[in-house]
Amino acid sequence: MTSKNITAFSAAEAHQLINDTVEELQHLARQEGHLGILVTKTAPGEFTVELTEDVPYGLTLEAFA
């Protein structure tokens, strides 16, 4: 599956980077037609945003590692 790692140095930067990445992956999800998006906080200021079959199409869920 497609995934992107994000590192941010402020809450505002994290919010912007996550939103931009989710929007990018939404385009890919529409092409696939069966993948959702999972945003996982992996450490302070670090996130992974991924397309996954574990999330229903059309949804974006958040998790903590």
Contact 49, 6 (CB under 8 A): yes
Confidence of residue 27 (pLDDT cuts 50, 70, 90): very high
Contact 60, 39 (CB under 8 A): yes
Q: To the nearest whole number, what is the mean pLDDT of the chain?
A: 96
Residue 59, CA distances (Å) to 6, 9, 13, 15, 46 in order: 20, 27, 23, 18, 21
Q: Are strands 60-64 and 3-7 parallel, antiparallel or unpaired?
A: unpaired
* pLDDT over 70 percentage in the chain: 100
Contact 65, 46 (CB under 8 A): no
